[in-house]
Amino acid sequence: MYILNMLKRNSLLIALVLVTILFEVAIRATGHGSLFSPSNFTNIIYQNSYVIILAVGMLFLIIGCGNIDLSVGSIVALVGAVAGVIMVNNEGNIYMAMAVCLLLGMLIGAWHGFWIAYIRIPSFIVTLAGMLLFRGLALIVLDGVTINPFPSEYLKIFSSFFPAARAEAYETTIVVTIVIVALYLLGIIFSRLSKLKKGYEVEPMYGFLFKHLIIIAALIGSSLLLANNKGIPLILILIAAVVLFYAFIANKTVIGRRIYALGGNEKAAKLSGVNTSRLLFLSYVNMGLLAAVAALVCVARFNSASPMAGTGYELDAIGSCFIGGASAYGGVGTVGGAVIGAVFMGVLNNGMSILGIDANWQKAVKGLVLLAAVVIDVMSKKRVTN
């Protein structure tokens, strides 16, 4: 019974490990190299940076009331188009352009939030309209053509490595990893002791050790791969900052607790004094902001602004959240789970691409994985109800 409970609590981590091993064996058996080559590992980080950023924003919408945003891919295209016009066509200041793009993303989020939170139009309808509207605006802004290249100064912000000198990459990456692992150990030990002191229920020691040993092993293994390539990508530092900030918001702040309360029971939250409409409005503003950040990352990665950029990104973000344990009913989900879900999607994408699996089959596989995640969530809710 204890082992079954442990496996259930850590099912996503176990699934990620098994899928990764499966792809590694298949890739080596077919002579396509390795999933864990240093260069490919860095490539996985770049390929999935936008998914993680979008998934974090989408998670807060799903937790808050089971809402989603179907327009994030189109927002990425429009914000990227505006960035391209300012930086490439008009040779504007890159930092001013980035500020304008972030502000544009927040305004788009506010547009959605107004109709959904205050006028109470269903989020599906509003964001579906936004998906069409902002994709059309992206085509108008770019006149239907792709523009490039972006200034090298801008590209360096998202494509550089720490440290800059490759000769120092190995030693610096190892030192940074030792510091991160030490801080992580101190954090989890302090958190567990604090909960025990306050009389809170904690997971059994075997489950605690199992989960965190896997995470620490993943941190060390990842750092070795990065150290043997070019060091720590700056985009990874940006992702880590976003994840840590929003994990803190979700777990340690009043706003985070109110978002969970909103998703658990909106009427009860409102009777408790929570301004549910404002909270929902701000959740969409936040989604717009993170979509703009993802847009800036994407145009730097592709070194171009395209009216068709961001196609399907909303599906990857939504899929990452549900695979990561977020409930379709709202009120349940973690930032860590969304990140693991995004990594899971990334490993699927990268592994199938290396194996040369047709893009249509890749979509089919991702669709089945997403359906399975939601079915498991719904069935578990029915079991609890019965």
Res. 244: pLDDT tops 90 = yes
Beta strand spans in the chain (E)? 161-162, 232-233
How many other C-beta atoms can be found within 10 angstroms of the C-beta atom of residue 38?
15
Res. 6: pLDDT tops 70 = no
Structure confidence at residue 199 (pLDDT): 83
Range of the domain at 332: 47-160+234-379
Domain contains 203: no
Domain contains 99: yes
Cβ(124)–Cβ(68) below 8 Å:
yes
CATH at residue 357: 1.10.3470
Res. 224: pLDDT tops 50 = yes
Structure confidence at residue 384 (pLDDT): 46
What is the CA angle 320-49-25, rounded to 5?
A: 70
Share of the chain above pLDDT 90, in %: 38
Domain contains 330: yes
Domain contains 360: yes
Res. 385: pLDDT tops 60 = no
pLDDT per position as a tens digit, 68-112:
899 999 999 999 999 999 999 898 899 999 999 999 999 999 999
Distances (CA, A) of 210 to 12, 75, 180, 250: 13, 40, 19, 24
Distances (CA, A) of 373 to 213, 305, 361: 25, 34, 19
Q: Indicate the average pLDDT of the chain.
A: 87
Element (H, E) at 283: helix 276-302
Number of domains in the chain: 1
Mean pLDDT score, 122-129: 93
Cβ(346)–Cβ(18) below 8 Å:
no
- Of residues 285 and 378, more confidently modeled: 285
Domain contains 63: yes
How many other C-beta atoms can be found within 10 angstroms of the C-beta atom of residue 133?
15
Domain contains 38: no
Domain contains 110: yes
Instruction: Tell me the C-alpha distance between 292 and 76, whole Å.
Output: 6
pLDDT per position as a tens digit, 9-20:
667 777 788 888
Structure confidence at residue 292 (pLDDT): 96
pTM for the full predicted model: 0.90
Domain contains 30: no
